[in-house]
Copies of this chain bind each other. A is one copy, B any other.
Amino acid sequence: MSEIITLAHGSGGKLTHQLIQGIFQKHFRNDWLLEGGDSAVLETLPGQMAFTTDSYVIHPLFFKGGNIGKLAICGTVNDLAVCGAIPRYISCGWIIEEGFPLGELEEIAESMASTAQEAGVSIVTGDTKVVPRGCADKLFLNTSGVGFIPEGLQLSTALIRPGDRVIVTGTIGDHGTAILIEREQLRVETELASDCAPLNGMLELVTASMSGAVRLMRDPTRGGVATTLNEFTEGQGFGIRLEESTLPVKGEVSGLCGMLGMDPLYIANEGKAILVVDGAQADRVMELLRSHPFGRDAAVIGEVVADHPGKVYMRTLAGGNRIIDVLVGDQLPRIC
């Protein structure tokens, strides 16, 4: 196999087959993929399924805490998991720029395979396109995913009521800040890494034993916690009040954001979920979350309130109230 990707790797012919066998089938090894059909033929489970898609255009491809491959599995697994689904099947579409190093492609595929294993999902079908030099920036990935929703589990904005608590499963802004440091090659001494992680195991701890306590879950990626919370309240008869003092933010993240005039509430996370839970059961949910490695820093950050319907606001450290609107413009393009 040559050392770089050529247009012929995307032709559907001999080199495409070599690429599929030599890298994708080797690392993603499962019977569905080996079948090599136009679609994977899979068993369904009765009831409801979740179906999601995300394209990944992150720059740079490799960063502290992961790479585009790990991200593409985590992001899609998390989109399924926050809907209450048990993630099961993943598809992978590659758009590769001619000249991309095969070694890096394999490293990315390896990450996808090990993250998929960690999350308990199988990469069952895929597609590879190669575009001429200059027509894409190195590599874009798409992963779509299918998961099955346990019977009886219901999550909906309609279940939310005043008194419910808002939980975030860990520190906020880590992913976006880590990417920014990497991209701008800021000379910052830091151990900060992307939080990129598959959250399904942790969330299943909660939904399996306390499904009635959970109203809604969401992963605050692009647009950050602020945008996700606004999606909860938009057009609704309730508001959300955050307590600034309870927001879990790493010192490095708040320091860098302060320097750059950015707000961690708007910065993308890739290994965090927000849960709205029954206020009476919030303590027990917190215990379960904190028992999981990805939930050690979980915190109750706010409460659903009857005042300010449709709005998110924050009681600040100074004691005032500040409206937290959705993101306008884009702080960090190509963050995922």
Report A's interface with B, CB cutoff 8 A.
Answer: 7-8, 10-17, 36-57, 59, 78-80, 82-83, 85, 89, 91-95, 124-127, 129-132, 134-137, 140, 142, 144-149, 218-219, 221-223, 227, 231, 268, 326-331, 333-334
Q: A83-B38, A144-B144 given as contacts; is B328 within 8 A of A8 (CB)?
A: yes
- Closest residue of chain B to A87 (Cβ to Cβ) is B39
Among A53, A80, A93, the most chain B Cβ lie within 10 Å of the Cβ of A53
Residues of B within 8 A of A329 (CB): 8, 11, 13, 15
Most chain B CB inside 10 Å of its own CB: which residue of A39, A49, A147, A221: A39
- Give bound CA distance, A129 to B330, whole Å: 12
Which B residues lie within 8 Å of A134 (CB)? 134, 137
Interface of chain A, main secondary structure = mixed
20 A-B pairs with C-beta separation under 8 A: A11-B223, A11-B333, A12-B223, A13-B329, A16-B222, A38-B82, A41-B48, A41-B85, A42-B48, A44-B49, A53-B92, A53-B142, A57-B95, A57-B129, A59-B135, A93-B93, A93-B144, A95-B140, A127-B142, A135-B137
Q: Which residues of B contact A51 (CB under 8 A)?
A: 39-40, 42, 89, 91, 124-125, 146
Contact A227 B53, beta carbon cutoff 8 Å: no
- How many Å lie between the Cα of A43 and that of B312 in the bound state? 33
For A231, list chain B residues within 8 Å (CB): 36
The minimal Cβ–Cβ distance linking A273 to chain B, given in whole angstroms, is: 10
- Tell me which of B83, B140, B327, B330 contacts A39 (CB under 8 A): B83
User: A327 to B130, Cβ gap below 8 A?
Assistant: no
| Residues of B contacting A333 in the complex (Cβ-Cβ under 8 angstroms) | 7, 10-11, 130-132
Q: Are B39 and A80 in contact (CB under 8 A)?
A: yes
A83-B39, A125-B51, A135-B137 as given contacts; A44 in contact with B148, CB under 8 Å: yes
Q: List residues of chain B with CB within 8 A of the CB of A327.
A: 11-14
Q: For the complex, what is the distance from the CA of A41 to the CA of B131, rounded to whole Å?
A: 34
Is A53 a contact of B135 with CB atoms below 8 Å? no
Q: Tell me the bound Cα distance from A93 to B75 in angstroms.
A: 14
Tell me the bound Cα distance from A140 to B142 in angstroms: 11
Instruction: Tell me whether B39 and A50 are in contact (CB under 8 A).
Output: yes
Are A93 and B54 touching (Cβ within 8 A)?
yes
A83 touches which of B41, B82, B91 (Cβ 8 Å): B41
Residues from chain B with a CB closer than 8 A to the CB of A94 are 55
Q: Do residues B53 and A144 form an inter-chain contact, with CB atoms below 8 A?
A: yes
**Distance (Å) between the CB of A330 and the closest chain B CB?**
4
Residues of B within 8 A of A57 (CB): 95, 129, 131, 135-136
